[in-house]
Amino acid sequence: MSPVLNLAFAALSDPTRREIVQQLAKGAARVTDLAQPFDMSFNAVSKHVKVLERAGLVRRTRAGREHHIALDPEPIRRIAGWASRYERFWSDRLDKLEAFLKANRKRD
Amino acid sequence: MSPVLNLAFAALSDPTRREIVQQLAKGAARVTDLAQPFDMSFNAVSKHVKVLERAGLVRRTRAGREHHIALDPEPIRRIAGWASRYERFWSDRLDKLEAFLKANRKRD
DNA sequence: CATATATTCAACCTGTGGGTTGAATATAGC
DNA sequence: GCTATATTCAACCCACAGGTTGAATATATG
């Protein structure tokens, strides 16, 4: 039972939250900025950010009335580490994984 | 919106299901075998297997009254691919990822 | 100070998740 | 054929997830 993985996997199971993570990969942003592309209420996005925060996927720094949200890649790293355990099921050599990773940098 | 990732992440957010996956990494098994280590009803485990199946993480082949459950690593591969997009956040070179993966083969 | 902006908090609704129990179904073995 | 085994199906419960709206809070700005 790994609470980190439980929360990280659960947080990333929602496509809206994965889009937010993707957004944050380009740099930190305010909640308003993150909410802007979505066709849902600001409050809904605010909740999503809170879920990501609770899972440790993002960090929040307050600057006046604005909250700066930044990606913390550690849980994703943990997920990559977890997934790597099954890497032998799709190839025996890490350079094959490397090739796969390279080919999949853009897609969702 | 990637249904594959939605379902795979959601399925793997449950520690029981991750344990089942881990169990299946050692080879295919019957539902009864999978249920045996857990302190919950057989039916609960049967449900978990169904969730994994729906997510494409396992495949089922019927042999008489026994159902053989086998790991299908493709969705995990997809997750590894997704996570790899953020690899630049923790290192710039894939050989660093490789080292990390090697060091984390055993843990949960 | 008054108002606009950025954000959370709280209450609510509906759907789904994980668990239970009890029954149904199908195959195996004596 | 009868009984035991392997499994799903169905109904139910409770907790949580994702969304809404309305209000509260805090900071900027004219």
pLDDT at A44 over 90: yes
Contact A52, A74 (CB under 8 A): no
CA distance B62 to chain A (A): 22
pLDDT at A91: 53
pLDDT at A2: 86
First to last CA, chain B: 27
> Tens of pLDDT along chain B (108 residues)?
789 999 999 999 999 999 999 999 999 999 999 999 999 999 999 999 999 999 999 999 999 999 999 999 999 999 999 998 888 776 544 454 555 455 544 434
pLDDT at A92: 46
Whose C1' is closest to the CA of A14: which nucleotide? Answer: D18
Whose C1' is closest to the CA of A42: which nucleotide? Answer: C7
- Tokens representing A83 are 């997934």
Q: Is A83 exposed, middle or buried (0-12, 13-18, 19+ CB in 10 A)?
A: buried
> How far from the centroid of its chain's Cα atoms is residue A34's Cα?
13
pLDDT at B34: 98
**A48 CB less than 7 Å from any atom of strand C:** no
pLDDT at A99 over 80: no
Q: Which residues of A are less than 8 Å from B100 in CB distance?
A: 77, 80-81, 84
Class of domain B3-103: mainly alpha
Strands (E), chain A: 29-30, 58-63, 66-71
Which of A2-6, A65-69, B93-97 is the least confident region? B93-97
Distance B42 CA to C23 C1' (A): 15
- Residue B60: how many CB atoms within 10 A of its CB? 14
Stretch A62-79: mean pLDDT:
94
What's the alpha-carbon Rg for chain A, to the nearest Å? 16
Inspect the interface and report whether the beta carbons of B84 and A105 lie closer than 8 Å.
yes
pLDDT at B103: 53
Distance A51 CA to D21 C1' (A): 20
pLDDT at A87: 79
Inspect the interface and report whether the beta carbons of A2 and B108 lie closer than 8 Å.
yes
Stretch A69-86: mean pLDDT:
93
Contact A97, A87 (CB under 8 A): yes
CA distance B107 to B96: 18
The partner residue sitting opposite A13, judged by closest CB among B6, B105, B107, is B6
- Residue A96: how many CB atoms within 10 A of its CB? 12
pLDDT at A103: 53
pLDDT at A53: 98
Q: List, in sequence order, every residue forming a beta bridge with A60; answer none if it has no partner.
A: A69
The partner residue sitting opposite B84, judged by closest CB among A25, A74, A101, is A101
Inspect the interface and report whether the beta carbons of A71 and B89 lie closer than 8 Å.
yes
**Which residue blocks in chain B are alpha helix, DSSP H?**
3-12, 15-24, 31-35, 42-54, 74-84, 94-103
Stretch A69-80: mean pLDDT:
94
Give percent above pLDDT 90 in chain A: 74
Q: Which residues of A are less than 8 Å from B14 in CB distance?
A: 6
> Which pLDDT tens digit goes with each residue over A9-42?
999 999 999 999 999 999 999 999 999 999 999 9
pLDDT at B89: 76
- Tokens representing A16 are 């809206």
A9 sits in which H/E element? helix A3-12
